[in-house]
Structure 1
Amino acid sequence: MSEHAVAGTQTVPIQITLNGEPRSLSVSPVTTLLDLLRNHLDLTGTKKGCDHGQCGACTVLIDGQRFNSCLQLAVMQDGKAITTIEGLAQDGRLHPLQAAFIEHDAFQCGYCTPGQICSAVALIEEGRATSREEIREFMSGNLCRCGAYTNIVDAIEDVAVRRRQPLQEAAE
C-alpha cells in the first residue's frame, strides 16, 4: 500500500527520496513533479511561476542537479533523490545560501527565492561559480521580477568564495 495516492484514475507506484526521506507514492502518469510537491505533498516552497520552464521559480534538485519541476513528470522520478527548498536546512540551521540570501538582502517579494537558491546550490556544486559573470550566465534560467539580481549574485559569490577558501589555503 502506498503512503500517498495522488488523484487520477490510473496511478503508477514510485519510490523517491524526498528531502532525505524515502517515500512510496502512487502517482497519475500526467502529474508533474511540481504539482506532486505543491498540491499533494504540501511542499509549497517550490513555486509555480510560468508552468512552461521559462522562469525557474519551480527549480528543485534531482540527484543533485537543478531541474524545472514543472517540466518533469512525477513518474520519471522513480528511484531518484529530490531536494526542495524545505530540505536544504539541516539540524535547524539554514543552508549557507539561505543565510547568504538573508545577509545580502537577495530578495524582495521572495517568490523566486526558493528556485534561485536551489539553482545556486547546484551551480556551486557544479564548480561553475568562479566569477560574477559566470554566476549571472549560469543563473540566467531563474528570473526575478523585482530585479534583485545584484544582491542574488552577491549572495552566491559570497558562498562560493567561502567554499573555495579552505581549498585554496590547503593548497598553499
Structure 2
Amino acid sequence: MLRCSDESNTLRLESGEPTFSDGNNLNNDFGDCGGGQRADGRAVLRLFLSVMDALAQMPTSEGMKAMQLINRTILNPVFLSVFFGTALACMLVTIISAWQRPPEYGLAIAGACAYLFGGFMVTAVFNVPLNNALDKLPLDAPEGNHEWNRYLRLWTRWNHLRTAACILACVLLAIGLP
C-alpha cells in the first residue's frame, strides 16, 4: 500500500516497489519522463487510469497528503520547462502555420489550439487552483473529507478533459505538421 511517511514527507510503498501488470514500476514511468523523453504516453495514461483512483482509496488524510506531495514535487525546472515550452511551441506553430500556410496548416493550428486551450489553459485555470486550495487545507481539518472528495471529483473531471485535448493535439499536430 502507498503510504505517506511523516518522517521524510515522501511517498513510500510499504511492501515493495510499486509495479504495474507489464512489470514496469512507477520510477521507470514517472522518474524519467522529464524533457519529453517518454512520448509514448504510458506514464500519463497510468496516472489517468490508476493514480487518482488509488489516492481515493486511501484514508482521507493520507490521500490528501500524497496529492499535496505530488503537486509540490511536480513544480520543478524540468516539468515547468516542458509544460511552458510546449505551450510556447504551440503558439509558434499557430503563428508560423497561419503565416506560411503549408499543406494541412489548419490541422496544425487546430492541434496547437487543442493543447493551448485544452491542456495548458485547463491546467492553469482549473487544476492548479484546485491544487493550491488542497495545499492550504490542513490534513486534520473538519471539512477535510468533504473537500478531498470534491477535489477528487473536480480535478479528475478536468484531468480527463485535458488528457483528451492533449491526445487530440498530438494526433492533429502529427497529421498537420510537414
TM class, shorter-length: under 0.3
Return the structure number with greater strand share: 1
Q: Which has the larger radius of gyration?
A: 2
TM-score normalised by length of structure 1: 0.26
The structure carrying a bigger helix percent of its residues is 2
